[in-house]
Amino acid sequence: MPREVQTVRSGWRRRAAAIAAGVLAAGLALLLAAVCAAPGPRRRAHPDRIPVHFWHMWTADWKAVVERIVAEFNASQTRYEVIPLSVPSASADSKFLLAVAGGAPPDLMAQWNQVIPAWADSGLLMELDQFMTPEEWTRFQAEVYPVALKIGRYKGHLYGLCTAVSIWACYYRPDHFREAGLDPDAFPETLEGLWAIGRTLERRAEDGRLVRMGFLPQWLNMYAPIFGGGFWDEAASRAVVDTPANLRALAFLAECRKALGFNEVVRFESSLNQGQGGNVDWPFISGRYSIVVDGQWRVEQLARNAPDLEYRAAPIPPPTGGKRHAGWSNGNFMIIPKGAAHPEGAWEFAKFWAGWGDPARAAEFCTWGGWLPLWPPVAEAPAYRAFLAKHPAFGTFLDVLPSENIVPSPPVPYQVFLNDQIGRVDDYAMRGTKTPEAALRGGQAELNAELARRRRFGL
C-alpha cells in the first residue's frame, strides 16, 4: 500500500508555494499572449511569381543588406520572387548538403567556403556557363577580374559567380610612425624594409612581454604567392606543398617569429582574445598592432566603429625578388545546386547582384557591403566612385584586385584537406616545433598520403 507521506510545511513555506504558483500562472498567461500575438507562417509577398529560394550565411547587420538587395531585385522585375533564408554559417554546409542529398535543395546559395571543386566534382553544382551564350561566356572569361574567374571556374566550367572578392593589404597607423620618427607617407617598398620598421615600432614591457606588435608577417597561404610560390603547379596541374619558393616564404615567417620570440608571440596573440564574432574589437583599433595585414571589409568597419581613427592602407610589399601585388584571395560567390527547381530565376538574381548585366546597379550593392566587385565596369560606376571618394583607403584594395598574382586555393577536390595541411605546416613552423624544411616536408608527405589514398579508393 502506498506509504505515508509526511509533508513538512510551515506557514511561510505555504505562502512561498502560493507565490510560486502565482508566478507560474502569470508565466502561462504571458505564453498565451505570445501565442496569440505571434505572426503565423511567412506569407509570400508575390504568390503569383516563380519562387527562387535563396540561402545565405549572413546575419546581424549583413542580413539587412542582403534583404535590401533581394527587395531591389523583386522590385525590378515581375517574373521571379527571391525568398531569402539566413542560415548561420556553423551549420549552413551540413544543412545544404543534407537538403541536396535529400532531394530538397534551394535554388541558389551564397557561399564563401572552399567548396567549389569538391562539390562540383561530386556532381552537386550546376554549371553556370550553360546560362550564357558562347559569346557571353568568352566575354565573361576575358573581362572579369582574374581572381574572380579563378575562384569560380573549375575544369573549364563556371560553378561560382563571384559577387565579391576579398583582398588583403597592410593597414598602418600614421600616428605610430610619426611617434617613432618615421614618415607615414614613405611606406616601405620591400618586405624586409617593412619588417625592419616593424621592429622599430615594437614596444615591450619590462619583463619582455610584447605590448605592441610592430609588424608580424603570418599565414603561409598569404605569403607563399608573395615569395613567388604557391600551392598549385599550373604546368603539371597538381597541388604541391614543398617547393623552394614556399620554403623561402615559410623560412622568412619563422625567422621573424624567432626574432620576436616564439612563445612571446603566442602569448601576445592569444591575449588579444578575438572571440566569436569579435572582429569589431580589432586590436588594430586599440593600437596593439602598428601595421597589420587584413581584408578590405575592415574599411567599412573602421568607418562605422572607429570613425576618428587615423589609418592608411598599402599593398603588401614583396621581398626582393618576390611578386608585386600578390597574395591569397577568396570571395563570396553564388552556386546553384543540381536539382534546383528554378535555376533560371536563380541565375537572374545572381547576375543582378554581381552586376553582370547592370554594373551601375550592382555598384550600389557593393557599397552597402563594402565589397570588391566581379568586374571593372562595376568599379567604374558612379556609385562606386563616390564610395571610393568617401573611403580612400579602399582604393588600395581596388588597385591590387586586377593583379594576376592574386591566387585562390588550388582547384582540387580535396581543397579543404589541403588547406588544413597548409595550416598545420604553419602551426608547427610558427611555434618552432619543426624547422620550416621539416614542416613543409611533413605537409607534402600528408598530401602525398592523401593522394595515394584517393587513388586506392578510385577517386
Partner 1 sequence: MNAIRRHLAGYLFISPWLAGFAVFTLLPFVASFFLGFCRYNVVTPPVWVGTANYEELLRDPLFWRSLANTLIYAGVAVPLGMAAGVGLALLLNAEIRGMAVYRTVFFLPHIVPVVATSVVFVWILNPDIGLVNSLLRLAGIRGPAWLADPNWAMTSLIFMSLWAVGGSMVIYLAGLKDIPVALYEAAVVDGAGIWARTRHITLPMLSPVIFFNLVMGVIHSFQYFTQAYIMTQGGPQDATLFYALYLFYRAWRYLDMGYASAMAWVLFVLIMLVTAALFRTHKRWVYDAA
Partner 2 sequence: MSATPALKMPLRRRLAIHACLLALCVPCLLPLGWMVSTSLKSETEIFPREGQAASAFRPAQLVPQRPVWRNYPEALKTVPFAAYLRNTLMLCAFTVTGAVLSSAVVAYGFARLRFRGREPLFALLLATMALPGQVTMIPTFALFRALGWYGTFLPLIVPSFFGAPFYIFLMRQFFRTVPEELAEAARIDGASEWGIFWRIFLPLSKPALATCALFQFFGAWNDFFGPLLYLNDPSRYTLAYGLQQFLSSYGGKWAALMAGATLFTLPVIVVFFLAQKTFIQGIATTGSKG
Binding residues vs partner 2 (CB under 8 A): 1-8, 16-17, 20, 23-24, 27, 31, 34-35, 37-42, 53, 57-63, 85-91, 94-95, 98, 101-104, 271-273, 275-281, 283, 285-288, 297, 301, 305
The entry of partner 1, partner 2, none near residue 122 (CB within 5 to 8 angstroms by kind) is partner 1
Question: Which DSSP string corresponds to 349-366?
Answer: HHHHHHTSS-HHHHHHHH
Minimum CB separation from partner 2 for residue 222, in Å? Answer: 18
The entry of partner 2, partner 1, none near residue 459 (CB within 5 to 8 angstroms by kind) is partner 1
Burial class (CB in 10 A: 0-12, 13-18, 19+), 289: buried
Residue found by looking up cell 603539371 in the block: 236
Contacts of 181 (CB under 8 A, 6+ apart): none
The rounded distance, in Å, linking the Cα atoms of 202 and 259 is 12
Q: Using DSSP, state whether 266 is helix, strand or coil.
A: helix
The rounded distance, in Å, linking the Cα atoms of 142 and 122 is 28
Minimum CB separation from partner 1 for residue 287, in Å? Answer: 16
The rounded distance, in Å, linking the Cα atoms of 347 and 132 is 10
Binding mask 195-224 for partner 1 (x = CB under 8 A): --------------x---------------
CA 137 to chain centre: 27
Minimum CB separation from partner 1 for residue 178, in Å? Answer: 27
Q: Binding residue for partner 1 (CB under 8 A) from 40, 273, 307, 455?
A: 273
Q: Binding residue for partner 1 (CB under 8 A) from 189, 233, 427, 437?
A: 427
Joined together, the cell numbers standing for residue 8 give 513538512
Q: Using DSSP, state whether 321 is helix, strand or coil.
A: coil
Residue (of 239, 216, 251, 217) closest to 438 by Cα position: 251
Q: In the Cβ-directed half-sphere of 390, how many Cα atoms lie within 13 Å?
A: 15
Measured CA distances, 424 to 42, 217, 401 (Å) = 45, 17, 28
Interface with partner 1: number of residues (CB under 8 A): 36
Q: Given the complex with partner 1, which of 232 and 428 has the nearer CB atom? A: 428
**Binding to partner 1 by residue 143, rule CB under 8 A?**
no
Minimum CB separation from partner 1 for residue 270, in Å? Answer: 4
Minimum CB separation from partner 1 for residue 58, in Å? Answer: 18
Q: Binding residue for partner 1 (CB under 8 A) from 78, 94, 141, 279?
A: 94
**Binding to partner 1 by residue 124, rule CB under 8 A?**
yes
Roughly what angle, to the nearest 10 degrees, separates helices 60-76 and 343-354?
Answer: 110
Minimum CB separation from partner 1 for residue 268, in Å? Answer: 8
**Binding to partner 1 by residue 456, rule CB under 8 A?**
yes
Contact residues for partner 1, defined by CB under 8 A: 93-94, 97, 100-101, 118-119, 122-124, 209, 263, 266-271, 273, 275-276, 278, 414, 416-417, 420, 424, 427-428, 431, 433, 453, 456-459
